[in-house]
Structure formats: structure tokens, C-alpha cells
Chain A
Amino acid sequence: DAMVIQNPRYQVTQFGKPVTLSCSQTLNHNVMYWYQQKSSQAPKLLFHYYDKDFNNEADTPDNFQSRRPNTSFCFLDIRSPGLGDAAMYLCATSRDGRGGTDTQYFGPGTRLTVL
């Protein structure tokens, strides 16, 4: 059974046209994360939510925003995509995130192409 679901799996957008990526989870986890992964690189954390508390990484561009309307759903909004934003976007969840022992569960990712 799918636990972390991302839609769509592939997204094509035009330069500067806003785009929203979706993530949902059936695990009832408190924490949800968004990562950006470029080709042949490790995932890079953009931000995470602990319940409703939003935590932005210091080097995440302002062009990236996120919403978490409820426990199950989290959205990544890219306000004005540039060519450099083409990447795989991974959503992950963890039960708590504290203490350093928690496991992150990843979705299948959304491959974003910017034309």
C-alpha cells in the first residue's frame, strides 16, 4: 500500500509559470519534508513541517513556498520556475523527527521539467 504519494509523477511547466506539487501520506506522521534532487546529486532539504510549524532551510530560495493544510497533505509551490529549478522533488515523512533516530519515508518523487 502506498504510504507517501506524490502527484503528479511528471510535471512540465514553462519558464516563470507557477507550479504546485502535491504530497499526501497515509502514515499519520507529524513531520513532512520537501527535498530537491538534481541529477546525480544527493537530495537537498528545502523545508519541513513539524505539525503546523514551518521550518525553512536558510539557503532555500524565496521562490519556493509550502503549505500544509492538514496532517495528510503538503504542497510545494514554485512561484516563478527557472531553468535551474528542473529537478526531482521528493516528499518525505517521519513520525516525530526529534532525537535523531526517526526514519524518513520517501514518496516516489515528481520530476519537474521547465521549458
Chain B
Amino acid sequence: AQSVTQLDSHVSVSEGTPVLLRCNYSSSYSPSLFWYVQHPNKGLQLLLKYTSAATLVKGINGFEAEFKKSETSFHLTKPSAHMSDAAEYFCVVSDSLTTDSWGKFQFGAGTQVVVTP
């Protein structure tokens, strides 16, 4: 069975300072991991994904995440927060027994990011 834990439900940062959103996962198989962002009253936008290639994944808007199998983590970072980064962020894990088996998305509970001037 798969599961995702986002360790912080709420993160507040000052504009220009680094952002760290923590995500731990459990998976029985080789997982794919995703980070999505959701601005108020909008759909989910893909920031980045990991699918067993390079462990450091670069995404859009200056975000990146590192897959650490030994720590079962996939933390999201950005060196310098911008006001437009204020949103809800979801860590998602997907896995399947085989390449032909169904891969179901499991969402974390989300982290609300507030950026102060």
C-alpha cells in the first residue's frame, strides 16, 4: 500500500527567503512522485515529477525536489520565495506492481504556503 505524509500543514516564509516543503512517502514498489500547486479556486498545476531517473528533479518556477530512497522523502525547495508562490502544495505518490498495472494517485494532505512581504 502507498501513502504520503506532508509534515507541515502550514508554512510561512518571507519574500526572498528559501522555501522547504517536506514530504515522506511509503510505497511497496518503485514509486513515481509528483508535486502539484493549487492557487485559490484553481485546478492543480504540475510543478515537477520523479519517475526513477535523476534523483534531483527541477521543475517550473524555480522549484526543485530531491528523491531520497533511504529516507523515503521527496522534499520540495525553492531558493527564494516570491509572493506568487502563496498557494496550496500537494505531494503525490503513484506506484504499481508492473508496468501494466493501474497506478493510482495518493495525495498528501497538502501544505498551505503563506509569503509575507
Contact of B43 among A90, A101, A102 (CB under 8 A): A90
CB pair B102–A42 under 8 Å, yes or no, is: no
B100 sits at the interface (CB 8 A):
yes
Main secondary structure on A side of the interface with B: loop
B95 sits at the interface (CB 8 A):
yes
CB pair A109–B41 under 8 Å, yes or no, is: yes
CB pair A111–B32 under 8 Å, yes or no, is: no
A113 sits at the interface (CB 8 A):
no
- What range describes how many residues of A lie at the interface? 20 to 34
CA distance A109 to B41 in the complex (A): 8
Contact of A107 among B43, B95, B108 (CB under 8 A): B43
| Neighbouring A residues of B41 by C-beta, 8 Å | 88, 109, 111
The segment from B13-21, B44-52, B61-69, B70-78 that touches chain A is B44-52
Q: Which of A86-103 contact B (CB under 8 A)?
A: 88, 90, 92, 97-103
How many Å from the CB of B34 to the closest CB on chain A?
7
| Neighbouring A residues of B100 by C-beta, 8 Å | 98-99
A19 sits at the interface (CB 8 A):
no
How many Å from the CB of B53 to the closest CB on chain A?
10
CB pair B43–A98 under 8 Å, yes or no, is: no
- A45-B105 contact in complex given A99-B99, A100-B29, A101-B51, C-beta closer than 8 Å: yes
CA distance A97 to B99 in the complex (A): 10
Sample of 19 further A-B pairs with CB below 8 A, known A42-B108, A92-B44, A111-B41:
A42-B107, A97-B103, A98-B99, A98-B100, A98-B101, A98-B102, A99-B98, A99-B103, A100-B96, A100-B101, A100-B103, A101-B52, A102-B32, A103-B46, A103-B49, A106-B36, A106-B45, A108-B42, A109-B42
Binding site for B on A (CB under 8 A): 4, 6, 40-43, 45, 88, 90, 92, 97-109, 111
Q: Which 5 A/B pairs are nearest by Cβ-Cβ distance?
A: A100-B103, A100-B96, A42-B107, A99-B99, A106-B43
